Chain A
Amino acid sequence: MTNCDEIREHLEACEECRLHISVEARLRTQPVLDPPKGLVARVLRALPRAAPLRREILRLVAAAAILVALAAGAIFFRPDQSPAYVTDVKPHLTQAWQAVASLVTTLNPLERSE
């Protein structure tokens, strides 16, 4: 008697094992479905417009711009300012604006990818 014959003989007599095998077979043969048509387009439409990383960078740039604007306001509109004082500060302000501009430049590749 081969192994196959022994298994067949056991299965004929054992309802529990037959049930285990048929449940296993049914689990393995559940149909695999195709996704509905247009799913990709519907999902993409439901996504927020700005990408998460880009949104973070935009926030940082906005915060930096506000800080520079506040600093410029505080320096240029002091009532007791002298022309010499303003001349000293101007190069620093230019540097600050350049820093903001470089942040905006880092953002550009992400904008192109949209």
Chain B
Amino acid sequence: MTPEIPKDTLSRARSGDREAFRSILESTQKLAFNIAYRLTWNAADAEDALQEVYLRLFRNFPHYDPEQPFLPWFRRLTTNCILNWREKRRPTAPLSEIAVEDGPPSDPSERLRQAIRELPPEYQSCVTLKYLEDLGINEIAASLQVPPGTVKTWLFRAREILVQKLKPYVETLL
């Protein structure tokens, strides 16, 4: 899942080499698509959001500092871009109201997804990076540019919220 990209490819892509950019796109697409999917829970939306991500990557590449590791910078750009994309397309009614009208989903995995969707955006980013790539606290902190203590707090609170939301369905989860 975690891609490895040669420094030479990064530096060529930074100067506008399209072949190098294509190589980076091919190496990172699985990671980026899964981040997008776990922040949208819809494959078509994930692909739409990815178009924005790579357009922004293409435009912002000259700002990337080649002395810094690429992946934390890329994860940050990807999560921020997808959260912004989602914000622009936010439904007019809050998700919690929609859920009440439609009733809770019967599938336990869908219940978990719905609970994740209702988390604050920063908790969702944290949970996504933690469980998609099994990143450590320091790697998540570097990717989201927040102190490690903040990541620990966000993950702890996110798990607490998920447990409380899923408590009524405990029998189907176990």
B154 to nearest A CB, angstroms? Answer: 14
The verdict on A91 contacting chain B, using a C-beta distance below 8 Å, is no
Among A23, A35, A40, A44, point to the contact of B173 (Cβ < 8 A): A23
The verdict on A6 contacting chain B, using a C-beta distance below 8 Å, is no
Some 23 contacts from A to B, beta carbons below 8 A apart, are: A19-B170, A20-B163, A22-B170, A24-B159, A26-B112, A26-B173, A27-B162, A30-B131, A32-B1, A32-B34, A32-B132, A34-B30, A43-B25, A44-B18, A44-B21, A47-B18, A47-B55, A51-B15, A51-B18, A53-B15, A110-B15, A113-B17, A113-B20
Contact residues of B with A, CB < 8 Å?
Answer: 1, 12, 14-22, 25-26, 29-30, 32-34, 37-38, 43, 47, 50-51, 54-55, 58-59, 61-62, 108-109, 112, 127, 131-132, 134, 159, 162-163, 166-167, 170, 173-174
Other A-B contacts than A47-B18, A113-B16, 18 sampled, CB-CB below 8 A, are A18-B170, A20-B159, A22-B170, A23-B173, A26-B109, A28-B131, A35-B32, A39-B29, A42-B51, A43-B54, A47-B55, A48-B58, A51-B16, A51-B17, A52-B59, A113-B12, A113-B15, A114-B16
